[in-house]
């Protein structure tokens, strides 16, 4: 079957990455986490003194943006994707709460987005990839053969996040989580540059009432149909 490009976009906390990773593993494709790239740029700002009392030093970041290279490698044991920032493994650091709080500001900067989009297109040159994010089907790969837009109700996503945190032994507050999910939806959808929106030719996957197995079955069916017609 011909190799295609698969773009998976959607709201935060709807299981996009888990789904995209599992799909890539299932069909032997490479997986790329575009959100990790914005997180790595946020980490770069923190590590290089670009966060001051007035916020991000955007002038310096803009000067240096072309020197920020994000790459991915598979962990030899787990096969999970590891994020590298200029050759250094930052997979753990980019998942901290500090990075999570900063990343949406970094991801809203147009010069950051255009550099990341260039790097993402380079990664997708040889096809056979699954990339997840917010603007993959609309901006990064508008010609992707398979586009999926994932959503679930804010309440379902907040409950899933709540269960994850509770399972880790935390003492989460459901209403606080729900508010955070709703706020992130608003920020993602109203951002000036590349806001989150369903591409006209993307298939909608509302996974509110679906199990992981049902989702995977749906994705594989769609993939087989599209790839065999290419």
Angle formed at CA 67 by CA 66 and CA 68, multiple of 5 degrees: 95
Question: Three-state DSSP class for 88?
Answer: strand
CA pair distance 110, 117, nearest whole angstrom: 10
* Minimum gap (Å) between residue 1 Cβ and ligand DC: 27
Secondary structure element (H or E) that encloses residue 36, with its range = helix 34-47
Residue with tokens 């040889």: 126
Min dist. Cβ of residue 228 to ligand DC (A): 28
Smallest separation, CB 190 to ligand DC (Å): 12
| Of the candidate residues 12, 138, 151, 207, the single one contacting ligand DC (CB under 6 A) | 12
Q: Where are the alpha helices (DSSP H) in 89-195?
A: 97-107, 110-123, 154-167, 174-190
* Per CB under 6 A, 157 contacts ligand DC: no
Element (H, E) at 17: helix 16-27
- Please identify, using beta-carbon distances, which residue of 35 and 128 lies nearer to ligand DC: 35
Q: Which CB atom, from 93 or from 135, has the smaller least distance to ligand DC?
A: 135
Specify the residue, 50 or 116, whose C-beta has the smaller distance to ligand DC. Answer: 116
Distances (CA, A) of 17 to 12, 20, 116, 148, 166: 10, 5, 18, 12, 20
Alpha carbon distance 174, 176 (integer Å): 5
- Nearest approach, Cβ of residue 169 and ligand DC (Å): 22
Query: In the block, which residue shows the tokens 């299981």?
Result: 15
Binding letters toward ligand DC, positions 39-78, x by CB under 6 A: x---------------------------------------
Q: Interface with ligand DC includes 19 (CB under 6 A)?
A: no
Asked if 34 interacts with ligand DC (CB under 6 A), we say: yes
Please list every residue from 83 through 142 that binds ligand DC, using CB under 6 A. 103-104, 107, 133-136
Residue 115 vs 135, nearer CB to ligand DC: 135
The Cα-based distances of 90 to 83, 112, 206 in angstroms read 6, 18, 32
Contact segment (CB under 6 A) with ligand DC among 22-30, 35-43, 168-176, 210-218 equals 35-43
Which CB, 5 or 34, lies closer to ligand DC?
34
Residues binding ligand DC (CB under 6 A): 12, 34-35, 38-39, 103-104, 107, 133-136
């Amino acid at each position: 079957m011909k190799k295609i490009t698969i773009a998976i976009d959607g709201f935060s906390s709807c299981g996009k990455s888990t789904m995209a990773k599992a799909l890539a593993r299932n069909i032997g494709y490479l997986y790329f986490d575009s959100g990790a790239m914005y997180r790595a740029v946020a980490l770069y700002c923190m590590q290089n003194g670009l966060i001051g009392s007035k916020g991000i030093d955007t002038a310096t970041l803009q000067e240096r943006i072309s020197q920020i290279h994000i790459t991915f490698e598979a962990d030899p044991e787990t096969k999970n994707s590891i994020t590298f920032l200029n050759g250094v493994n930052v997979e753990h650091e980019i998942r901290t709460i500090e990075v999570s709080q900063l990343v949406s500001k970094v991801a809203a900067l147009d010069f950051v987005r255009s550099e990341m989009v260039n790097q993402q297109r380079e990664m997708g040159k040889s096809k056979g990839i699954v990339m997840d994010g917010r603007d993959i089907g609309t901006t990064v790969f508008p010609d992707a053969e398979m586009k999926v837009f994932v959503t679930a109700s804010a309440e379902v996503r907040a409950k899933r996040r709540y269960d994850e945190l509770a399972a880790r032994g935390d003492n989460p507050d459901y209403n606080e989580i729900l508010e955070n999910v709703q706020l992130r939806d608003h920020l993602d959808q109203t951002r000036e540059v590349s806001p989150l929106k369903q591409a006209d030719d993307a298939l909608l996957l509302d996974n509110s009432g679906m199990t992981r197995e049902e989702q995977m079955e749906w994705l594989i069916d769609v993939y087989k149909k599209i790839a065999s017609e290419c």
